[in-house]
Amino acid sequence: MRKKLNGATLIEVLIALSVFTVCLSIGSLTLARATKSGNRQKKLQADVVVSRIAALKPDTLDYINGSIYINDLLIEKKLSPSIHSSRLLVVEYTVKDDKGRFLTSIRRIILRDYEEELNP
């Protein structure tokens, strides 16, 4: 007399494996999309902050290099003389996230104020 074995057939195992694979791929795509969306939102926030800073009048800017944190964003300002004229300065703002990853940057050319240099 034979005993009946309880188990799954090969077809059942393959179907279960394919269903698991489909669920795993959908989950990984959803996770990738959510991560990308979060990065896009952080980049948009960085663009807004740096645009507001760059829109300030040149007389409200100080003529020193530096960095500041605003809303978990590191904003670095670098001043360098223009290669075209000694009266011009290039101001570059670089924005990085809290992990140090580059998000965006913007450059402006401003007219140097010689009165500040003569009368410190």
10-residue block means of pLDDT along the chain (120 residues)? 74 90 89 77 82 69 73 84 82 86 85 52
The predicted structure's pLDDT at residue 20 = 92
Q: Which amino acid is at 95?
A: V
> Token match 């740096």: residue?
50
User: Residue 38's pLDDT is what?
Assistant: 72
Interatomic CA distance for residues 28 and 30, integer angstroms: 5
Centroid of chain to Cα 37: 11
- How many Cβ atoms are within 10 Å of 74's Cβ, its own excluded? 17
Residue 87 has a pLDDT of: 80
3-state secondary structure of 64: coil
Q: Is 73 helix (H, G, I), strand (E, B) or coil?
A: strand
